[in-house]
Amino acid sequence: MPVEKLFWQDPYATRTDAVVTSVDGDIVTLDRTVAFAFSGGQASDEGTIAGLPILEARHSNLEIEYVLPKCHGLEPGMEVEVVIDWPTRQRLMRLHFAAELVLELITQSHPEADKIGANITRDKARVDFRWEANIAQTFPFLEREIERWVQADRPITSTFSDTATQTRYWEIEGFARVACGGTHPRSTGEVGRIRLKRMNPGRGKERIEIFLADD
Ligand SMILES: [Zn+2]
């Protein structure tokens, strides 16, 4: 059985008891976890296993491999506590969903826009497009629409489209349904106030950077 990913069932859970299922040098797997591993542009959580810092978390098929400090002393069958840093996760979820809204609003209003990348860290999110104009021209529209979604505080559904492959999507009824395996807030109000900034990486690429306005 691959690891049970509690961060999908409950993205607000910050700790769980777990059992070590395998150890290979500094790599440990668990029977269940709250610690997200980098996926779909969303950074891994900051956290600990048995009090040891998670140095890296990565997917291996449906499993998650956690890299711990060498000499961690863990063995298969041991019971451990998994804890994540909630302020970091909360920032990741807010920035992640702000990026989802930007992507969806651009896609719906500019069907010709070509999304070429996205990345979400605790400090900022960025979304890249192949785009021939100055993408800051879309900011009044984006800021108005995102503010509207935040004020409306509409529910966000996050669930499986295919449980066997663990493929997931988020949906806001009447707005969008988008494939994504990240962690999403329960409602649009949680995104809160954000700031947009344009970057021009060159060669026909435009980047939208997203910051939390309360920083
Ligand atoms: Zn997502």
**From the centroid of its chain, how far is CA 87?**
14
> What is the per-residue pLDDT for 203?
85
Give me ligand 1 centre to Cα 171, in Å.
Answer: 10
Give me ligand 1 centre to Cα 190, in Å.
Answer: 14
Give me ligand 1 centre to Cα 191, in Å.
Answer: 13
Give me ligand 1 centre to Cα 76, in Å.
Answer: 33
Give me ligand 1 centre to Cα 181, in Å.
Answer: 6
> Which residues does 164 contact at the CB level (< 8 Å), separation at least 6?
none
Give me ligand 1 centre to Cα 75, in Å.
Answer: 34
Give me ligand 1 centre to Cα 68, in Å.
Answer: 27
Considering the entire predicted model, what is its pTM?
0.95
Q: Where are the domains of the chain?
A: 4-84, 88-212
Give me ligand 1 centre to Cα 59, in Å.
Answer: 16
Element (H, E) at 96: helix 86-109
Q: What is the mean pLDDT of residues 110-123?
A: 94
Looking at the domain that runs over 4-84, which CATH code has it been given?
Answer: 2.40.30.130
Q: What are phi and psi for residue 75, nearest 5 degrees?
A: -135, 155
Residue 208 burial by CB count (10 A; 0-12/13-18/19+): exposed, middle or buried?
A: buried
Residue 10 burial by CB count (10 A; 0-12/13-18/19+): exposed, middle or buried?
A: exposed
Distance CA 72, CA 167 (A): 32
Give me ligand 1 centre to Cα 92, in Å.
Answer: 10
Give me ligand 1 centre to Cα 23, in Å.
Answer: 30
Q: What is the mean pLDDT of residues 195-200?
A: 96
Distance CA 189, CA 205 (A): 30
Element (H, E) at 132: none
Q: What is the mean pLDDT of residues 108-126?
A: 95
Angle at 192 between CA 188 and CA 198, to 5 degrees: 105
Decide: 106 and 113 in contact? Cβ < 8 Å: yes
Q: What is the mean pLDDT of residues 72-80?
A: 98
Q: What are phi and psi for residue 88, nearest 5 degrees?
A: -70, -45
Q: Which fold has domain 88-212?
A: Threonyl-tRNA Synthetase; Chain A, domain 2 (3.30.980)
pLDDT at residue 141 tops 90: yes
Give me ligand 1 centre to Cα 169, in Å.
Answer: 8
Give me ligand 1 centre to Cα 49, in Å.
Answer: 25
Q: What is the mean pLDDT of the chain?
A: 96
> What is the per-residue pLDDT for 71?
93
pLDDT at residue 136 tops 90: yes
Provide the pLDDT confidence category of residue 40 given band limits of 50, 70 and 90. confident
Ion ligand 1: protein residues whose beta carbon lies under 5 Å: 180, 182
